[in-house]
Amino acid sequence: MLPLKKLSSRKAPTLIITVGILITSGFFLISAQRNTAKQHNLQSSNLQSNNPSNQSSWAMPAILPTEIVTQHSAYSLVYNHKHMQAKWVAYNLTYGNTIGGAERSSKFSIDPSISPRTAVTSDYTKTGYDRGHLAPAGDMKFSAQAMAESFYMSNVSPQLPGFNRGIWKKLEEQFRSWAPSSHPVFIATGPVLTDPITAHIGQSCSISVPQRFYKVMLDTASPMRAIAFVLHNVSSAEPLSRFAMSIDEAEKITGLDFFPKLNDIQEAKIEKTLLLQQWQFD
């Protein structure tokens, strides 16, 4: 049996270098695969957060233990059966949501997700009040389903025609003008149910007629900013900027806690003050 030959002094370094190259290449390949997967997951997460069908809880006010959140494809709400309308409606908005091809529907219907049932469309007939949208149909153009759901009776409140078709419509258009293309802003809107209720409408139920309505927006992009409006349920020719206020002021009026996901530092900075120069009014 012949003895094994020892590696020559020339071949040993060559073999070591080759093994080292293979190990290094494998390390970089694994790292690249991990980075690619990480980037893919991050992109998927961002796409999901920008998708209105995956409603972000950032838009929702604080939820009480006794409240039930109803989730639709593009908005969430808490329905108040005492007043037969939503306490609040919350949704995400981007510029893309406002320019889709979904045609506006004029067919109001009960919300099948809410039990006991919502008010019905005939409860508003010949009352002198419009079925005023809370989450506006103009923000739902990206989807036929979202458009149809915006006409659920859970998404309307009694509004005087001069208000609904005037300054409230103007506020909806103003919010759309502030919606960016790159990321969603978060909106909550509804009637002020802490005011005394002095009027009711309805045949099959008793619907409270709110004296005021609110709409608030949070934009988490840098620099983070937020703005709130509380409007009386009457026609007005006043500029919208006159009704702008801080989130804290709107919370005192409505009794709601808006944007509870903000941390204490953000809340102190964003909710307590309003910088009108951060907002361009049409």
Q: How many C-beta atoms lie closer than 10 Å to residue 250's C-beta? A: 24
Q: What value, to the nearest 5°, has the Cα angle with vertex 192 and ends 84 and 254? A: 130
CA distance 115 to 101: 32
Going by DSSP bridges, is the β-strand pair 130-133/156-159 parallel, antiparallel, or unpaired? antiparallel
Which stretches within 109-184 are classed as H helix? 144-149, 161-162, 168-178
Among candidate residues 81, 133, 200, 232, the one labeled active-site is 133
Residue 127 CA to chain centroid, in angstroms? 31
* Residue 133 known to be catalytic: yes
d(CA 254, CA 242): 18
Catalytic residues: 133
